[in-house]
């Protein structure tokens, strides 16, 4: 008989906890937050149950709630009241995200504010860049992306996260930040962002679905894995500090690939459609929401994520505190 019996390490909860291979902490969780132009807004987001829109003047209440759940990092998205061809609301000093960043940092300097750097919520056509003759033009877009990132950093953002998927945008942002003396601001690059149908609820929340065509000329084809490494390597050369993989649940192999082949911290983004699937399956009584939330988040860390952006950040933090995971 074989003397090796894996079941010995499953005898009771304490032993299982000791022998656990994946440890997660609330310190590694990041919560997305949607800031809407206006005043006095604390409004439930229909397609993201359990989440609210905040306006810059109410965002401190949202942060209070997040800190109470022991989550210390947020990723901000802006919902402007006006859109135009150049997405000018995205880099305005008085833009919705810039105002919110200042409000948050004024009262809660201890919270890490990450900002999504993109144009699609601000352009009338819903694309992530400057459009000419029906095409998103890479090099015309770069100065805008850099300008948006700089305006966020000037407002006090701790980390900028470009999600547009233009080539060379990390280099452009890095050069611009260096030129203004912001040597110490990390760039969390959406290095590996797939053209995914899992963004459905988000586009409804941010009113950012493209008015024509799709995002397949800039976001990646989900058949590709080696290309993910190519994107990540380019971003590293251009000065990215953290590499993001998005979505997460259907891309665990990509998370592992980057973890094994790079030296940068890896951030997984479990996107709106992943959250919505768990929520709706649970509503139908088909799965246990809490258990599936825990299992899928742990799988992302097990795959190699060092940090996780998730709409379940507060609930996961509580699950960790209770000792159910982590
Ligand atoms: C902006 C952006 C998107 C998401 C994050 N940043 C939408 C998109 O690329 O269409 C999706 C996030 C989510 O689904 O939770 N480019």
Identify which of 190, 202, 207 to mutate to test ligand 1's pocket (most ligand atoms within 8 A of the CB): 202
Q: Where do the domains of the chain lie, and which CATH numbers do they carry?
A: 23-322 (3.20.20.70)
**Dist. CA 159–CA 166, nearest whole Å:** 19
Q: Are strands 159-162 and 112-117 parallel, antiparallel or unpaired?
A: parallel
Name every residue whose Cβ is closer than 8 Å to that of residue 127 and which is 6 or more positions away in sequence.
119, 120, 136, 210, 211, 213, 215
Question: Catalytic annotation on 82?
Answer: no
Q: Which two tokens stand for residue 317?
A: 């933090």
**Dist. CA 12–CA 7, nearest whole Å:** 10
**Dist. CA 143–CA 208, nearest whole Å:** 21
Name the nearest CA neighbour of 129 among 72, 168, 74, 178.
168
Please report the sign of the dihedral spanned by the C-alpha atoms of residue 186, residue 117, residue 305, residue 323. Answer: positive
Name every residue whose Cβ is closer than 8 Å to that of residue 65 and which is 6 or more positions away in sequence.
314
Q: What is the pLDDT of residue 246?
A: 98
Task: Tell me the average confidence (pLDDT) per consecutive run of 10 residues in the chain, 326 residues long.
Answer: 95 96 97 98 96 98 97 98 95 98 98 97 95 95 98 98 97 98 98 97 91 95 98 98 98 98 98 98 98 98 98 98 96
- Compute, in angstroms, the gap from residue 321 CA to the centroid of ligand 1: 29
**Dist. CA 92–CA 98, nearest whole Å:** 8
Q: Which of 83, 147, 246, 279 is catalytic?
A: 246
Q: What is the pLDDT of residue 227?
A: 98
Chain centroid to CA 308? 8
**Dist. CA 112–CA 104, nearest whole Å:** 10
Cα-atom radius of gyration of the chain, to the nearest Å? 20
Does residue 247 have a cis peptide bond before it, meaning omega lies within 30 degrees of 0? yes
Q: Which two tokens stand for residue 179?
A: 């030129």
Question: Cα–Cα distances in Å, from 71 out to 30, 57, 137, 296?
Answer: 7, 21, 38, 19
Say whether pTM exceeds 0.90. yes
Q: Which of 193, 259, 279, 314 is catalytic?
A: 193
| Ligand 1, atom 8: closest residue by C-alpha | 199
Q: What is the pLDDT of residue 207?
A: 85
- Strand, coil or helix: 309: strand
Q: What is the pLDDT of residue 238?
A: 98
* Residues 269, 245 contacting (CB under 8 angstroms): yes
**Beta bridge partner(s), residue 76:** 33, 115
Strands (E), 55-187: 73-79, 112-117, 131-132, 135-136, 159-162
Which 8-state DSSP code applies to residue 37?
S
Q: What is the pLDDT of residue 248?
A: 98
Question: Catalytic annotation on 99?
Answer: no
* Residues 31, 73 contacting (CB under 8 angstroms): yes
- Compute, in angstroms, the gap from residue 202 CA to the centroid of ligand 1: 6
Q: Are strands 29-36 and 42-44 parallel, antiparallel or unpaired?
A: unpaired
Q: What is the pLDDT of residue 126?
A: 94
């Amino acid at each position: 008989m074989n003397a090796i019996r894996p079941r010995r390490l499953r005898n009771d909860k304490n032993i299982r906890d000791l022998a656990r291979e994946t440890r997660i902490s609330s310190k590694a969780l990041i919560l997305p937050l949607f800031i809407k132009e206006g005043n006095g807004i604390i409004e439930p987001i229909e397609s993201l149950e359990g989440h609210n829109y905040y306006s810059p003047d109410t965002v401190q209440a949202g942060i209070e709630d997040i800190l109470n759940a022991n989550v210390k990092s947020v990723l901000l998205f802006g919902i402007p009241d006006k859109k135009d061809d150049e997405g000018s609301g995205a880099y305005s000093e008085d833009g919705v995200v810039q105002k919110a960043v200042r409000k948050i940092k004024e009262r809660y300097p201890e919270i890490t504010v990450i900002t999504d750097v993109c144009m699609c919520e601000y352009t009338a056509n819903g694309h992530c860049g400057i459009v000419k003759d029906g095409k998103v033009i890479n090099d015309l877009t770069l100065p805008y992306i850099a300008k948006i990132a700089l305006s966020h950093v000037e407002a006090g953002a701790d980390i900028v996260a470009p999600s547009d998927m233009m080539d060379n945008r990390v280099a452009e942002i890095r050069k611009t930040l260096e030129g203004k003396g912001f040597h110490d601001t990390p760039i969390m690059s959406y290095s590996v962002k797939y053209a995914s149908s899992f963004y459905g609820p988000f586009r409804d929340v941010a009113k950012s679905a493209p008015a024509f065509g799709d995002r397949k000329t800039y976001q990646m084809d989900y058949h590709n894995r080696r290309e993910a490494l190519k994107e990540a390597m380019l971003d590293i050369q251009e000065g990215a500090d953290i590499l993001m993989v998005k979505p997460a649940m259907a891309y665990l192999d990509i998370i592992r690939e980057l973890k094994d082949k790079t030296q940068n911290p890896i951030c997984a983004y479990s996107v709106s459609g992943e959250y919505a699937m768990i929520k709706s399956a649970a509503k139908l009584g088909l799965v246990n929401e809490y258990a599936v939330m825990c299992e899928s988040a742990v799988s992302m860390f097990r795959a190699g994520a060092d940090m996780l952006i998730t709409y379940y950040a507060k609930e996961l933090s509580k699950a960790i505190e209770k000792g159910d995971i982590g």
